[in-house]
Amino acid sequence: LEQRRGELLKRGEQFWISTATTDLASATAWLDRFEAAGLDGVIAKRLGLPYLPGSREAVVKVKEHKTADCVVIGVRWKQRPEKLATLLLGLYRKDSEVDYVGSAAIGARSHDEIAKLVLPLLDESSDRRFSEPNRWGTEGLEETPLRHELVAEVRYDKVQGNRFRHGTKLIRFRPDKSPAQCTWREVRPPRRADDPTVETLLGSSG
């Protein structure tokens, strides 16, 4: 890597070369700030190894897992009327409507405890469908909306478009928090004036 980057820097006028550092504090700060530029992590490379096609021995992608408080807006069933598969999560928009943003799997150990919380909130009067059929086969699982009374804290890795990119992990329920507080600001904080852009990141080749 050191030799390859050195050669690229010599020919810098022909390339956009991204910033690099060996300082852990700088890399940690980048990890915190880069999401504002649409990036979801940093790349860590072993300096003494060459690029190895198809191998991750020399390259590791480092991503930050974050948490968000979401309103639980529905459930997906494994088998009605008692077996739950996942919680369906939502965030409020500025117009007070709720967007479906993803799901959190319900583990076997916590199933009964979670069922006691969510089953009384079933809203059978609504026929809202939250998710589209996908490669994971969730189109075969029935969904039922819930009254918007329960808040769950979940861990996620990235928001892509208007959804969590991958499934989230349930951390805990938040009876101390109002569902109305679960807004898009949870995952899209206001942009700071000095937040980086892709252009500024690529414009520096230190």
Strand (E) or helix (H) holding 79: strand 66-79
- Least Cα distance to 101 among 134, 123, 68 occurs for 68
Q: Are 165 and 158 in contact (CB under 8 A)?
A: yes
Residue 124: helix, strand or coil by DSSP? coil
User: If you average pLDDT over residues 179-200, what whole number do you get?
Assistant: 79
Share of the chain above pLDDT 70, in %: 81
DSSP state of 159: E
Q: At 188, is the pLDDT very low, low, confident or very high (cuts 50, 70, 90)?
A: confident
More confident position, 140 or 71: 71
Domains of the chain, start order:
2-63 (no CATH), 66-186 (2.40.50.140)
Least confident of 5-14, 44-53, 117-126: 5-14
- Least Cα distance to 57 among 65, 45, 66, 70 occurs for 45
Q: Are 72 and 147 in contact (CB under 8 A)?
A: no
- Least Cα distance to 146 among 120, 181, 112 occurs for 120
Give tens-digit pLDDT for 94-104: 999 999 999 99
